[in-house]
Chains A and B, each alone.
Chain A
Amino acid sequence: MAKKTVTPSTETLEPRIYEIGYLLSPAVRDEDLETRVSELKETLAKFGATVISEGAPEFIDLAYEMTRVIDNKNVRFNQAYFGWVKIEIEPKGIALVKEFMDANIGIIRYLLILSTRENTVIGKKPLGKMIKGERKALTSDETGEAKEEAAPAAAPEAELAPEAVEAELDADIKEMVKEA
């Protein structure tokens, strides 16, 4: 029986597009944010990554409380700076990126996913503006049911307005007739 030879696929060796989303600790001062991000990009460049696009860190309220063990202590976070970087890197370099992100104390959590070169964000609203209350409102407002309920409520106001104007006009005409 002939032995099967397994050749390593060339696909895995080619650079791929990855996206790294990260949450920076809120303890980082606004002035230091830029340096943190540039440090991150420099490290990524060291590992052979080229930055395609990026989203500057925005201060957000987290949807739920997160915990991270720092110096054998559970540290809880309710707010963080959320940023992302899209990079092109060879798959073998991604292990180094993971190690770096895991070791970085300033990063609460990160997400490393395969992505595409094109811009994938379509919505316009920046994440930083999405505070908790607004998020809740968005959920109920933008569902189809909420829209259906809101539509009839707005209509009577529009209908009432011309009637009120007509009634006022009638009253004015009557007064004028009386005066005459």
Chain B
Amino acid sequence: MSTQCYFKQNNIKHIDYKDLEILRKFLTPSGKIMASKRTGVCKKNQRKLSTAIKYARFMGLLPYIEV
């Protein structure tokens, strides 16, 4: 069975909080983190992704909520 995880497919080992282009793919238009059920990201990478998004939010690179 082939993997559906975006990060595994693209061989991305470290998810960087500065990488907004990638992080935005996993945000809803309102700025919430998409569920792994919807995106197909594996559990391990979903944890890394959510941490990276939270770092980016803290630094003001991404919004907590998009109005």
Chain A, 102-145, contact with B by CB distance < 8 Å: what is the 0/1 string?
00000001010101101011111101001000011011101100
Closest B-chain residue to A108, C-beta based? B60
A171 to B60, CA, bound (A): 60
Tell me if B62 is interfacial: C-beta within 8 Å of chain A.
Answer: yes
Q: Which residues of B contact A52 (CB under 8 A)?
A: none
Q: Which residues of A contact B66 (CB under 8 A)?
A: 136, 139
Q: Which residues of B contact A60 (CB under 8 A)?
A: 60-61
Q: Which residues of B contact A135 (CB under 8 A)?
A: 20, 24, 62-63
Within 8 A of A (CB), among B30-64: 31, 55, 57-64
Tell me if A156 is interfacial: C-beta within 8 Å of chain B.
Answer: no
Q: Which residues of A contact B16 (CB under 8 A)?
A: 120-122
Partner of A109, one of B20, B22, B28, B58: B58
Chain B, 1-41, contact with A by CB distance < 8 Å: what is the 0/1 string?
00000000010101111111110110111010000000000
> Is A63's CB under 8 angstroms from B57's CB?
yes
Q: Secondary structure of the A side of the interface? A: mixed
Q: How many residues of B contact A (CB 8 A)?
A: 27
Partner of B59, one of A111, A123, A124: A111
A111 to B66, CA, bound (A): 22
> Is A116's CB under 8 angstroms from B17's CB?
no
Q: Which residues of B contact A118 (CB under 8 A)?
A: 14
Tell me if A66 is interfacial: C-beta within 8 Å of chain B.
Answer: yes
Partner of B18, one of A21, A23, A109, A138: A21
Tell me if A101 is interfacial: C-beta within 8 Å of chain B.
Answer: no
Q: Which residues of B contact A138 (CB under 8 A)?
A: 20-21, 24
> Is A62's CB under 8 angstroms from B25's CB?
no
Partner of A62, one of B12, B55, B60: B60
Q: Which residues of A contact B21 (CB under 8 A)?
A: 123-125, 138, 142
Chain A, 20-32, contact with B by CB distance < 8 Å: what is the 0/1 string?
0101000000000
Q: Which residues of A contact B29 (CB under 8 A)?
A: 139-140, 143
